[in-house]
Amino acid sequence: MSTASLDRTELTSALSDQWDALAELTGGLDEDRWRLPSPLPGWTVFDVLAHVVGTESMLLGEPLPQVDSDFSAFGHVRNDTGALNETWLESLRPLRGDELLRRFTEVTGRRRAALAAVDEAAWAADIQSPIGVVSYGRFMRVRLFDCWMHQLDITDALGGEAKALGMDEGGRRAEIALDEIEPFLGRVVVKRGGAPDRSRITIETTGPVARTVHIRVDGRAEVVAALDRPADTVIRLGSGLFARLCGGRTAAADHRDEIEVDGDRELGERIAVNLAFTL
């Protein structure tokens, strides 16, 4: 499903459900579990949820906190966006995990009310986002993707504890999140994966979200509904692993037995190794 055709009611409902999933995933954690490292460099489980709190607080119009920290000393902070994120985190890190979760619940409650109150003009108005200046509604699709990816981050940090909760990586929220990845794949397979001109690539995710993405490279790369000839290489993997690779959360070399490549193996493996376009 194209992100351009996503219904506003469906999107806001999915975003609300995603916040509920994050609350369920972190509810009842003891303080040691809150401080477990996540797949994101320099961030713990606590930091991942604090990042969501900070972003949603910003969207509510709350001012940037004043903190006394030199972010140049933080190895994982590489740009202004990273410094902005870290400012919110530094302001929240003195809290206990249960206090952060209460703050998260309060902030997302206000965000639900704010989303319900946004009129159509404001929904269509331009706003600065991580992918540039887009409509407010488009930014909310990015927010769903970001929050869903952070569910994966916390799930991976908690390991068996998250599995015991039955956190599902499929469903409508996952489908919408994967829709956010597709538009970037053409650029990724060429600039990072080195796909040559005239090549044809197919990426198949096998579940829990099953889909097939075709990429045609003719001068420039684009995602297409169907290829005009058989793919030069077909890359087949689970949707959760695919998202984690695109998000830079893990390395393909650590999952060789979970990635199948048909056709041009060298090209397929090179693309799989270089899927990351965000972190």
The sheet with strand 200-206 has its strands ordered as 220-224, 210-218, 200-206, 233-237, 260-263
Ranges of CATH 3.30.1050.10 domains, the chain: 176-273
Q: How many residues does the chain have?
A: 279
Q: May I ask the CATH class of domain 176-273?
A: alpha beta
CB neighbourhood size of 197 (10 A): 10
Cα separation, 108 vs 56, in Å, equals: 7
- Long-range CB contacts (within 8 A, 24+) of 21-24: 21/151, 21/167, 21/173, 22/49, 22/52, 22/104, 22/147, 22/150, 22/151, 22/154, 23/101, 23/104, 23/105, 23/108, 24/165, 24/167
Mean pLDDT value across residues 242-265:
97
Mean pLDDT value across residues 2-26:
87
pLDDT tens digits for range 64-101: 888 776 656 566 756 666 677 788 999 999 999 999 99
- Residue 15, pLDDT above cutoff 60: yes
- Residue 251, pLDDT above cutoff 80: yes
Ranges of CATH 1.20.120.450 domains, the chain: 8-167
pLDDT tens digits for range 154-195: 999 998 666 656 578 999 999 999 999 999 999 999 999 999
Cα separation, 41 vs 131, in Å, equals: 21
pLDDT of residue 51: 96
Which stretches of 97-248 are assigned E, i.e. beta strand?
126-129, 132-135, 200-206, 210-218, 220-224, 233-237
Percent of the chain with pLDDT over 90: 81
The strand pair at 210-218 and 200-206 is best described as: antiparallel
| Threshold 0.85, pTM exceeds | yes
Mean pLDDT of the chain, nearest integer: 91
pLDDT tens digits for range 103-127: 999 999 999 999 999 999 999 999 9
Name the more confident of 240 and 85.
Answer: 240
User: What is the CATH topology of the domain spanning 8-167?
Assistant: Four Helix Bundle (Hemerythrin (Met), subunit A) (1.20.120)
pLDDT of residue 166: 59
Residue 200 near residue 217 (C-beta atoms within 8 A): yes
Cα separation, 196 vs 265, in Å, equals: 14
pLDDT of residue 86: 84
